Amino acid sequence: MCETLTSPAAIVMTGARDRVDPIELSSYAGLGAIGLLTLNILIGLLLSTKYNPVRRWPHHRIDTVSLHNYTGWTALALVLVHPALLLLPSRVDFRLIDVLYPTHAPKQPLVNTLGAAAAYLLVVVLVTSYFRFEIGRRWWKRIHFTTYAVFPLFALHSMFTDSTLGDHAIDYLDGEKVFVELCIALVIVAIALRVRWQKAQPPARVHRKRVTHHPQQ
Ligand code: HEM
């Protein structure tokens, strides 16, 4: 059979079960995660500028808050599936501890640790978003800013992993790496635009706190 039939679609179509490589599947989950996280950050940055899709492009009502939520939770699901697949029998033996705390993982422990740190921070950001009313807006917002730390962590992890875990030099022109590079570039440009937008805003007015006198006090 053709050697190239290793994509998930080809595996399903041909039923070539013996070709399923957990490391390759894990790489697809990682790529899906970075794609969704990129979309999630872009929508989050739009939300922070109070972008109105009805008044501006695409001149349609779009529920950007729900989109931000869905992309975040789906990305988290893929982020968890991605290292979990490494536990399946393959060329490289990852133990549970190597996935949860990869400092001594059998391959690329440093970049995997960056990925794990990103994953843990992402869990914190999403769980605290779920309980944001209980936590209160002020604290929730402070915690939510850690997303700016999640981005460089998963960006470095995704750029510097050898997706085959075969100790090869990284090919930065490989299709998957180009996708990763595009995602990172998009986020950097979007953050720069967000900062420019912020600088163009009129300075915020300082509101004096009104003191209300209660007759019984
Ligand atoms: C926010 C969290 C994470 C994101 C966005 C992410 C993303 C990615 C991406 C995009 C790749 C593939 C790069 C390519 O194909 O060139 C990758 C590879 C890899 N990641 Fe992650 N990752 C995350 C967390 C983790 C964690 C927690 C581990 C735990 C050990 C891990 C271990 C690996 C390994 C071993 C590879 C190389 C093998 C493979 O491609 O699956 N990652 N990651």
- Give the pLDDT of residue 205: 65
Whole-angstrom distance, CA of residue 165 vs CA of residue 24? 10
Whole-angstrom distance, CA of residue 204 vs CA of residue 127? 31
| For residue 11, pLDDT beyond 70 | no
Which residue has the least CA distance to atom 27 on ligand 1? 116
Total residue count of the chain as it appears in this document: 217
Convert the pLDDT of each residue in 101-155 to its tens digit.
Answer: 999 999 999 999 999 999 999 999 999 999 999 999 999 999 999 988 999 999 9
Which of 94, 151, 163 to mutate for ligand 1's pocket (most ligand atoms within 8 Å of CB)? 163
| For residue 173, pLDDT beyond 90 | yes
- Give the pLDDT of residue 141: 93
Which residue has the least CA distance to atom 37 on ligand 1? 163
- Give the pLDDT of residue 150: 96
Rg from Cα positions in the chain: 22
**Percentage of the chain exceeding pLDDT 90:** 77
| For residue 32, pLDDT beyond 90 | yes
Convert the pLDDT of each residue in 185-204 to its tens digit.
Answer: 999 999 999 999 999 998 87
Which residue has the least CA distance to atom 43 on ligand 1? 30
Which residue has the least CA distance to atom 12 on ligand 1? 27
Whole-angstrom distance, CA of residue 18 vs CA of residue 114? 32
- Which ligand 1 atom sits closest to the C-alpha of 37? 5
Q: How confident is the model at residue 210 (pLDDT cuts 50, 70, 90)?
A: low
